Amino acid sequence: MTSLEASEVVLTFLESVGRRSEAELYLELFRKLPKASFAVIAAEATVTRHARRSLVEQLGFLTQLGLVAPLLLGLFDPERAAESSAALISSLRKAGLDVSEHEPSHISSGQLLRKELEAGKLPILSFSADSSEEQRFSTLEGLLGALDSRKLVVLRNRGGLGPHGQRRVEITPEHVLPAHDGGLSVINLQTDLAPLLGSKLLLPGEGQLLSRLAPLAEANPRLQVSVASPLGLLKELFTVRGAGTLVKRGSQIQRFDSYQELDLERLTQLLESAFNKQLLPAFFQRAPLAVFLEATYRGAAILEPGAGAAFLTKFVVGPVAQGEGMGRDLWEAIKRDQPRFYWRAKPGNPIASWYADNCDGLIRLADWTVYWRGVVPDQVPRVIADALARNEDFRPRS
């Protein structure tokens, strides 16, 4: 099977768990990175003992896509990992993967691993049973830096952190975290870490794991840290929604009172790519009430004066940033700034269900669905009328 044929097989598989366009987008981004920087994967001993077949299959899929990542064994449980690492390595070799074995303490820099990863070889790093937890995580931190890794994926049989099978998990009535079948979707370390650790939502051991992973994510803004199951590895890597828990530092969201300080060309590009339409020049002639912008122009929310409340005229997040939970960061910034606001969206909007989950009320009409938050009941007709009366800001691309 050629590499092109192998990629097609894997992309077809990914289409069953998410949108093919998402998988193709992430694959393109991963392939643009140096091979050594793609990811580091750390597997708990329960995975290598009880889910070995799934792990081998998923690593085989990645290899067919031209993506290899060092596999760390014994990071959390070196004594138990030693019992199953030999069987895992044997299974990987039987599956046709080119495997090399190393003791992490013998890797003084990433140079050797870089050469192996560039050659498509899969390095296995097994921690010794007598290594301390501090030594292991210090070695991991050094490895991530030496390889300039963009992802750290922790694999455990249970998958993501926190309750499973829910769409929303309440820490308090005002502090709700997004979730899915595989656990919490995203944990923002700036806003969620302390409340989550202080709650009873995490299972025994999960708080300690999260506390160990948090400093790695906080120290490197380019590193994404995920906790997932081996079966959910590809979905976690190649879909926006993911299959586990993304532990992230948090987006840098800035607030502006006007467009004067902004790069309007970059903002226009973000808006037009999100809506796949051409923005009318008159849009920026209207004075905004507030503009919330991610520092690298991957997400934005624009509010204008409205009928007794702020009107959220634009809410956009780039596809990769969606997978990082940036939409929630923007949303929290709006909520902190505006106690009352309303917005509209076309029927069939891809995040309509998310809007419905995050509004106090809505009305579905032929051309628009109008949503509101914090608007008192007797003002609802007024905001609906204002939302419907507003002109379109886009025209079809010429």
Query: Which domain, by its residues, includes 66?
Result: 3-248
Per-residue pLDDT of the chain (398 residues; tens, 9 = 90+): 455 566 676 667 666 666 777 778 788 888 888 999 999 999 998 999 889 999 999 999 899 888 999 999 999 988 887 778 888 999 999 999 999 998 887 776 678 899 999 999 999 999 988 889 999 999 999 999 999 999 999 999 999 999 999 988 999 888 888 899 999 999 999 889 999 999 999 999 999 999 999 999 998 878 889 999 999 998 888 887 888 999 988 778 899 999 999 999 999 999 999 888 999 989 999 999 999 999 899 999 999 999 999 999 999 998 777 777 788 889 989 998 999 999 999 998 888 888 998 899 999 999 999 999 999 999 999 999 999 999 999 998 76
**For 124-159, what is each residue's pLDDT tens digit?**
999 988 889 999 999 999 999 999 999 999 999 999
Considering the domain architecture, whether residues 148 and 206 belong to the same structural domain is answered as yes
pLDDT at 70: 95
pLDDT at 396: 86
Considering the domain architecture, whether residues 195 and 62 belong to the same structural domain is answered as yes
Considering the domain architecture, whether residues 117 and 244 belong to the same structural domain is answered as yes
Considering the domain architecture, whether residues 162 and 299 belong to the same structural domain is answered as no
Contact predicate 192/152, CB 8 Å: no
Pick the last residue of a domain from 248, 276, 304.
248
What residue type is assigned to position 208 of the chain?
Q
- Read off the DSSP letter of residue 88: H
Considering the domain architecture, whether residues 242 and 277 belong to the same structural domain is answered as no
- Read off the DSSP letter of residue 185: S
Considering the domain architecture, whether residues 278 and 222 belong to the same structural domain is answered as no
Spell out the long-range contacts of 166-170 with Cβ–Cβ below 8 A and sequence spacing 24 or more: 167/357, 168/357, 169/201
In the chain, the number of structural domains is: 2
pLDDT at 282: 93
Considering the domain architecture, whether residues 50 and 121 belong to the same structural domain is answered as yes
SS3 228: strand
Extract the runs of DSSP E, i.e. beta strands, from the chain.
40-43, 71-73, 99-102, 122-126, 151-155, 168-172, 175-180, 183-184, 186-188, 224-228, 245-248, 253-256, 278-279, 290-294, 299-305, 310-317, 341-345, 361-364, 369-373, 394-395
Task: Give the burial class of 60: count Cβ atoms within 10 A of its Cβ; 0-12 exposed, 13-18 middle, 19 or more buried.
Answer: middle
Contact predicate 227/161, CB 8 Å: yes
Q: CATH number, domain at 241?
A: 3.40.1160.10
Q: CA distances (Å), 383 to each of 12, 168, 213, 221, in order?
A: 45, 27, 44, 40
Alpha-carbon distance 186 to 308, whole Å? 33
Q: CATH number, domain at 296?
A: 3.40.630.30
Pick the last residue of a domain from 248, 280, 310.
248
Backbone angles phi, psi at 68, to 5 degrees: -130, 145
Considering the domain architecture, whether residues 70 and 195 belong to the same structural domain is answered as yes
- Read off the DSSP letter of residue 117: H
Considering the domain architecture, whether residues 318 and 225 belong to the same structural domain is answered as no
Considering the domain architecture, whether residues 141 and 28 belong to the same structural domain is answered as yes
163: Cα within 13 Å, side-chain hemisphere: 15
Alpha-carbon distance 246 to 150, whole Å? 13
pLDDT at 90: 92
Torsion, CA 11, CA 247, CA 132, CA 112, rounded to 10: 40
Backbone angles phi, psi at 300, to 5 degrees: -155, 150
Pick the last residue of a domain from 225, 248, 271.
248
Considering the domain architecture, whether residues 170 and 314 belong to the same structural domain is answered as no
Token pair recorded at residue 300: 């934005």
Considering the domain architecture, whether residues 345 and 383 belong to the same structural domain is answered as yes
- Read off the DSSP letter of residue 73: E
Alpha-carbon distance 13 to 2, whole Å? 17
